[in-house]
Structure formats: C-alpha cells, structure tokens
Amino acid sequence: MPFANLKVPADTLTPESKKKLVDAVTDAFADVYGERARATTLVIVDEVPDGGWGVGGNVLTAEMLGRS
C-alpha cells in the first residue's frame, strides 16, 4: 500500500485544496505503481501548528514566513 504523510502549516489549506493535494499525490503514486495502487493509496495531511517547524536550528513561525 503506497503511503504519504504530508506536513503543512496549520490553517493554510481549504478543504478543497486538501482534496486537490490528496488527489495529486494519489495520481502520482498511480502513475508510478499503476492504477492498481490507486484504491490502496493512503495520504495523511498533518497540519503543523504555528511554531511547530524548525529549519537549521530555528523555529519557524507564521510571522517569519510572512503569513501574519
């Protein structure tokens, strides 16, 4: 079973954009593994709260990313 766990900043996706993302990832797996993989592809979208990201030892916030 193909599996993808996507981490995104909280409150940056609408329900429609989440669906679009899940569909795109599922399509990508089906392109690689064939249509047989579509029915068993699992995609989890985890929303990471503000301050829950770190890059290079720095905690990232919405303000730092220009989203506030």
| Catalytic site includes residue 49 | no
Choosing from 2, 9, 15, 49, which is the catalytic residue?
A: 2
Provide the token pair at 17: 């954009």
Dist. CA 26–CA 19, nearest whole Å: 10
Q: Which residues are designated catalytic?
A: 2
